[in-house]
Structure 1
Amino acid sequence: MQTPYPPRLVFYSHDTMGLGHIRRNMLLANTILTSRPDTEILLINGVRESGIFYFPKGMDSVTLPTYIKTPDGEYEPCSLGNDVHRLVELRVSIIQAALNAFNPHVMIVDNVPRGAMSELNTVLPLLKQRNTHLILGLRDIIDEPSVVQRQWKKLDNSTAIRDYYSDVWIYGDAGFYDLTRAYNLDDDIRKKVSFMGYLDATKHPRQPKTTDNYLAAINRPYILCTVGGGQDGYHLASVFARATFPQGMMGVLITGTMMPAAEYEALQKIAAQRNDLCVIRFIANPLLLLHQAHSVVAMGGYNTTIEILSLNKRALIIPRVSPRQEQWIRASSLAKVNLVACIHPSELNTQTLNDWISKNWQPENPRHYLSLDGLRTFAEKINILLPKPAGKALTSLVGV
C-alpha cells in the first residue's frame, strides 16, 4: 500500500556533462526540506562526485554508472567498456530497483522526458500505473529551436509528455525566453507548462564549515574563473591562467573534476610560476567563493549563470557553443540587457580577457529584469502534491 507519510520525492537527472543538474536538484530538494522536513528525497543521478556533496537529513542519492557526452552529442560509457547498450541495461535495472524500493509519491525528471538513451521508457508507464505524479523539469533554454524540434520529434518526446507527465515546470522567466513559443509546443503540452521563475541561489542553505587548505592561499581580493565540469574547459582555463590581474588582486581558478589530468597538471605548472593564481580541482559548493569574488569569468552553464545573476556579480561569460547553442543563446541575450558581459569562445584570447578585466563595467540589477521566485513557486506547487491519501496496492516496477 502507498501510504501518505512520509512524503517521498525522487529527482532523476542523467548528468552527462558537468555538475549543473545535480546542483540544481539539490537546491530544489533543500527548499522542500526547509518547508517540509518530514519529506524523504532521493536523488538518482550520474555524478560520481555526489558522494562528496553534503546531504542533510532526509536526502540521499543513488549514483548510476556514468555516461559521457562526446563532442558530437552522442552518449558513450565513461569507464565501463565501449558497449553503451549494456550500460543502458545496467542503469535501467538500478533505476527500477531504486524506484520500486523507495516508492515515491512524486518524481521530477530533469530535462530529458525519456531519460538519457531513453532509459526511462520502461519506467514511465509503470510509475503512471502506480499513480506517481510525474513532472518534467526544464531549464529556460534547451537549444536552438530547429534543433530542439528535430530532436524532440526523433525521440517522440511530445508523446511521452502527453502520456505520462502531468506537469512541465520551467525554471525560467517567460518574459526573458518563452520556451513554449520558441519551440512551437503543441497546445495540449502548453497547458501542462508552468514558468516557475529562476532559482535564487542566495537561498542555498548554509553548508558545513570547510577545512579545505586552498582557503589559506586566497589572501587578497580575487577574480574567480569556473569552467563547469571541466571536460571542455581547458581553453578558457588556460587563457585565464595567463591573464593579468589588477594590482593587489589574484586569480582563483576552479578546473572541475572532469578536466583531463594532463590539462589540469599544465595549469598547475602555470600557477607554480605565479604568486597571484590559485588552482582548485573541485569544490562541492562554490557559492561562497562566487559570493566573495570581485569579478567572475565563467562558461555559461545554467546553474553558474543563475548564481551569478542571483548575486548580481560583475561577470564575463564565455559560453559553450557545442554540441548545443543553449549557453550562447542565454548569455548573449543577457548581455543585450547588460546583465552580464559575453564573448564568443572563438574570440577569447589573453588580450580580450585582459581588456575586460581592466574595463570599468558594472551590470544592471538582474532582479529588475527577471523573476527569481522559482524556489518559492516550486515549494508551493510541491507542497500541494506531496500529501497523498492511502491508496491501492502498488504494482511492482519489475516483471510487470
Structure 2
Amino acid sequence: MSQIHEFPPARRAPRIVLYSHDTLGFGHLRRNLLLAGALKEGLPTPEILLIGGMREAGAFELPQGVDCLTLPAYAKGSDGSYRPRDLGRDLAPLTALRAQAIKATVQAFDPDLMIVDNVPRGALFELDATLAALSRNGHTRLVLGLRDVIDRPAVVRRQWLRQRNFETVRRFYDAIWIYGDPSLYDLAEDCGLDGAFGGRQRHVGYLDHSVRLASPTARMDADAVLCGDPAPYVYCAVGGGRDGASLCEAFARAPLPAGHRGILVTGTQMPLALREHIRDITARRPEITLVPFVREPIALMQGAARIVAMGGYNTTCEILSLERPSLIVPRARPRAEQVIRTERLAARGLVAMIHPDALTPQALGDWMAGPPPRPTGPAPDMGGSGRVRALVQDILSRPPVRAIAARAS
C-alpha cells in the first residue's frame, strides 16, 4: 500500500478590502486607488478588492491584481443629507441593498485586512452587519483610515456620539490611521479623540500623488485635452462637481493672464442644467477648454502654470505633491473641513485661499495675474503611502487586537 503524505495547505496571498462610501466627488476612490497601488508594491502578490459607491470607478485605471465592486450610488445634498443618486427614490431599500451586497462580498472574499475609509460604520451604517461578521471570524484585521480634518472639534464629537462611532471604534477596530501631519492639524488631540482611540491611532503623513505621473494614462489624457497647444494654461477643477458650479462660473468669467488658456474640468456629478450654463459661458471664450471628466488628471496638473481648485483632501494632496502655484476655494458648508485645512496651509504660504463668500471672477483674475504664493513654513509630511505599506506588513504579521483580547478574557 502506498503511503499518503499530507502536506500543509499553501499559504494564500494576503487579501485586502478597501471600502469607501463615495457620496460626493472622487476623492475617496482616488485615495483608495493610491493605497492599493502602494500595497501592491510592498506585499507579495496581494489580492485587493475595492468596494465603493462611485459608478465612475470603471473609468479609472486599476493596478494589476486589483478589482472593484461598485455599489448603487448615494448622492449627498448640500445640507449633508443622503438620497439615491439614480436608483429609485426611497433611501431605505437602497441602504439595505448596499449593506447586504457589502456583507456577502466581504464574507465570500474572506479578507485578512479591511481598511474602512473615514466612516466607522459606513454610510448610513451600512457596515454594521459586516463589522459584526468580521469580528466573529476572528482573523480579519480592521483599520479605520481617517483624513487629516473631519470638521470643527465640537461638531465631530457631537456627530461621533450621535452615530455611536466611539463605541464602534473601541469594539471593532484594531488600528486608526490618520492620513495627515499632526504639525499641521492633530485630529485626535484637537477633537478629543485620544481616549476613544485608546492609543491605536497613528498619523501616517499625507499621501504623495506624484507617483501617478508614471501612469501612461496620465500623459495620454493630458495630450488629449491639450491637443498639442504649447500655450501656458491655468487648470481649474472642482472634483466630482456636485457643488462646484460657483467656482466653475467664476473661472469661466475670470480674466486669464495674457497668452494663457484655461482648462476647466466640471466633473460628472454637476447637475446638467448647471453644466450647460457653464458651457454657454465658455462658448464665448475660445481660450477656455471645457472638459467634463479626466480619468487621470495628474499630468495636466503638473503641466499647469497655476491651479485653481476646491479644497477636498485628495485635491489638496495632489497640489502638495506637485508643488504648483495653487489657489484653493474651499467648501465652507455643511462641513468646515476644507476651510480648516486650507487656512492652515495658507498660513504657511503653501497655497493661496479665497473664501467662497468672497469668490468673484475678478478675485480669481487678480490672483492669476499676481505673484504666486511663497512658502513661509515647513512643508507637510508627504510620506503616508510608504508608512501605510509598512503598517500593513506589520499588522498582517500579528493576530488582530480583538483576537488577543478575546484570548486574554
TM-score, structure 1 normalization: 0.93
Q: Is the 8 A contact 2:328 2:354 kept in 1?
A: yes
Deviations along 1:108-133, whole A, 9 cap, x unmatched?
Answer: 00000000000111111211222210
Partner of 1:202: 210
Partner of 1:136: 144
Alignment of 1:187 with 2:195, yes or no, is yes
Q: CA deviation at 1:37?
A: 5.0
Measured in 2, the distance between the counterparts of 1:87 and 1:255 equals 27
Partner of 1:146: 154
Q: CA deviation at 1:217?
A: 6.8
Partner of 2:407: none
Q: Is the 8 A contact 1:7 1:387 kept in 2?
A: no
Alignment of 1:337 with 2:337, yes or no, is no
Give structure 1 stretches of 5+ with no counterpart.
390-400
Measured in 2, the distance between the counterparts of 1:32 and 1:227 equals 28
4+ residue stretches of structure 1 with deviation over 6 A?
none
Q: 1:272 aligns with which of 283, 288, 297?
A: 283
Partner of 2:52: 45
Q: How do 1:78-157 residues align onto structure 2 when only pairs under 5 Å count?
A: 78-130=85-137, 131-157=139-165
Alignment of 1:357 with 2:368, yes or no, is yes
Name the amino acid aligned to 1:150.
R
Deviations along 1:332-384, whole A, 9 cap, x unmatched?
Answer: 11111111111110100011111111111233187x33111111111111122
Deviations along 1:156-188, whole A, 9 cap, x unmatched?
Answer: 101000000010000001111111111111425
Q: How do 1:287-306 residues align onto structure 2 when only pairs under 5 Å count?
A: 287-306=298-317
Partner of 1:161: 169
Q: Is the 8 A contact 2:115 2:142 kept in 1?
A: yes
Alignment of 1:70 with 2:77, yes or no, is yes
Give structure 2 stretches of 5+ with no counterpart.
1-7, 400-409
Measured in 2, the distance between the counterparts of 1:108 and 1:236 equals 33
Name the amino acid aligned to 1:16.
T
Partner of 1:216: 227
Partner of 1:380: 390
Q: How many pairs were matched up?
A: 388
SS in 2 for 1:122: helix
User: Which moved further from structure 2: 203-212 or 283-292?
Assistant: 203-212
Measured in 2, the distance between the counterparts of 1:93 and 1:213 equals 40
Alignment of 1:322 with 2:329, yes or no, is no
Q: Is the 8 A contact 2:13 2:44 kept in 1?
A: no
Bigger RCO of structures 1 and 2 (CA < 8 A, at least 6 apart)? 1
Q: 1:235 aligns with which of 232, 246, 257?
A: 246
Alignment of 1:249 with 2:260, yes or no, is yes
Deviations along 1:84-108, whole A, 9 cap, x unmatched?
Answer: 1111110011101211221110000
Partner of 1:371: 381
Q: Is the 8 A contact 1:312 1:365 kept in 2?
A: no
Deviations along 1:302-334, whole A, 9 cap, x unmatched?
Answer: 010111011111111100011111000000111
SS in 2 for 1:30: helix
Deviations along 1:36-59, whole A, 9 cap, x unmatched?
Answer: 250010000000100111112210
Name the amino acid aligned to 2:88.
G
* Identical aligned residues as a percent: 44
Measured in 1, the distance between the counterparts of 2:341 and 2:84 equals 29
User: Which moved further from structure 2: 289-298 or 216-225?
Assistant: 216-225
Q: CA deviation at 1:296?
A: 0.5
SS in 2 for 1:204: helix
Q: Is the 8 A contact 2:169 2:196 kept in 1?
A: no
TM-score, structure 2 normalization: 0.91
CA 1:273–1:9: 2 relative to 1, 3 Å: same
Measured in 2, the distance between the counterparts of 1:3 and 1:364 equals 53
Measured in 1, the distance between the counterparts of 2:105 and 2:398 equals 20
Q: CA deviation at 1:207?
A: 2.2
Partner of 2:318: 307
SS in 2 for 1:150: helix
SS in 1 for 2:214: coil
Name the amino acid aligned to 1:203.
V
Q: Is the 8 A contact 1:45 1:62 kept in 2?
A: yes
Q: Is the 8 A contact 1:5 1:387 kept in 2?
A: no
Name the amino acid aligned to 1:18.
G
Measured in 2, the distance between the counterparts of 1:218 and 1:251 equals 12
